[in-house]
Amino acid sequence: GVSVRIEDETERMRLKEILAETIGENPLGYIVRTNAEGQSREALCEDIDYLGKQWSALQQRIAVAKVGKRVYEDLPLALRALRDLMRPTIERVRVDSRETLDRALEFTGQFMPELVERLEHYPGERPVFDLYGIEDEIQRALKKEVPLKSGGYLVVDQTEAMTTIDVNTGSYLGTRNLEETVYRTNLEAAQAAARQLRLRNLGGIIIIDFIDMIDEEHQRQVIRQLEKSLVRDHAKTTVYEMSPLGLVEMTRKRTTESLERQLCEPCPACSGRGSIKTAETVTYEIFREITRAVRQFDAEKLLVLAAKDVVVRILDEDSTAVAELEEFIGKTIRFQPEEHYSQEQFDVVLL
């Protein structure tokens, strides 16, 4: 069967023909998922071969398993990476854990024997992530700004609805004229944006805001560069024409959570908003809370606990306002800074 989400009838027929030729007299049934759309015959044959071996191994475990024994579970991360990413184009895979290497060798020996020789143990004292700069690459992939070699930069914003990528020239002024500068920056940005999509595993709707170009041929070249750079992407992508505002809409199939969603969590200070209220805003919130509190409860004086910066501002810039508020409510207000309070956090205590 072929997924109904693959709507192109020509592609559906191509996939069915490939499977019919490959499966032959094989009694197993296969469902072609949307990820198979546009994939080569070789890639499909690799999947069929892998699934056949996996099903055979599963049947052997079922034959000897006792009631209640687990016969199948998803692979651990290291083996999933080998299954999904290991291709003939990969020169070698270096593993710094002997235990993980043994499991990887056993897995590839059973399911991908032609790739066993490409696995090797890394015995060095220096961490393998440091050796290849992986840690630094991860840190860069979590930042909003992505510098370009020309001096320009990208700004990547991931939201619930979509991801936006803004292109800026930065310090790059070019050697000819503004149009040439913009064109060169957009070409480089197209390559960088495609790489960031893969690196950050961004999916769904993506809007790239290229710098406005007057020349229509330049616009077409930038789109072609983007499409060319996306060829290496294992996820399905669709790029649409550039709009009059210089925006390029595209989609990238979402497979797993993005790098940021996997490695990070919402900021406890701003709850994921990306910004916090100013000390001035919090000050006026405190004043309003004091007014509400004295109307509801009877107290001789009040104690306000707040972040240090907020208290300093109240006692310095708003001391006159505090005096007027004390006169208005007829009570004394004392302020106490709390080192562990976030800037938006405060408590009004009735004494």
**DSSP secondary structure string for all residues of 257-296:** --HHHHH----TTTTTSS----HHHHHHHHHHHHHHHHHH
Instruction: Assign domain 135-263 to a CATH class.
Output: alpha beta
Tokens of 94: 């270096």
pTM exceeds 0.85 for this model: no
Tokens of 231: 């060829």
Q: Which residues, in sequence order, are CB contacts of 47 under 8 Å at separation 6+?
A: 36
Tokens of 299: 């107290």
CA distance readout (Å), 111 to 71, 94, 196: 17, 19, 31
Pairwise CA distance, residues 124 & 129, whole Å: 11
Q: CB of 230 within 8 A of CB of 239?
A: yes
The confidence score (pLDDT) of residue 171 equals 64
Q: Which amino acid is at 241?
A: E
Question: What digits encode the pLDDT tens for the residues 69-119?
Answer: 999 988 998 999 998 888 778 899 999 999 999 999 999 998 888 889 999
- Using DSSP's 3-state secondary structure scheme, residue 228 falls into helix
Query: In 3D, which of 336, 260, 267 has the Cα closest to residue 305?
Result: 336
Indicate the pLDDT class of residue 174, thresholds 50, 70 and 90.
low
For the beta sheet containing 247-252, the strands, ordered from the edge strand earlier in sequence to the opposite edge, are 145-147, 153-158, 163-168, 204-209, 247-252, 237-242
**For the domain bounded by 279-350, which CATH number is listed?**
3.40.1260.20
Indicate the pLDDT class of residue 172, thresholds 50, 70 and 90.
low
Count CB atoms within 10 A of the CB of residue 191: 15
The confidence score (pLDDT) of residue 290 equals 93
Average pLDDT over residues 144-172: 89
Question: What digits encode the pLDDT tens for the residues 13-55?
Answer: 999 999 888 887 777 888 998 888 888 888 888 888 888 888 9
Pairwise CA distance, residues 305 & 303, whole Å: 7
Say whether pLDDT at 310 is over 90.
yes
Q: Which residues, in sequence order, are CB contacts of 270 under 8 Å at separation 6+?
A: 276, 344
Q: CB of 259 within 8 A of CB of 200?
A: yes
Tokens of 125: 């004292």
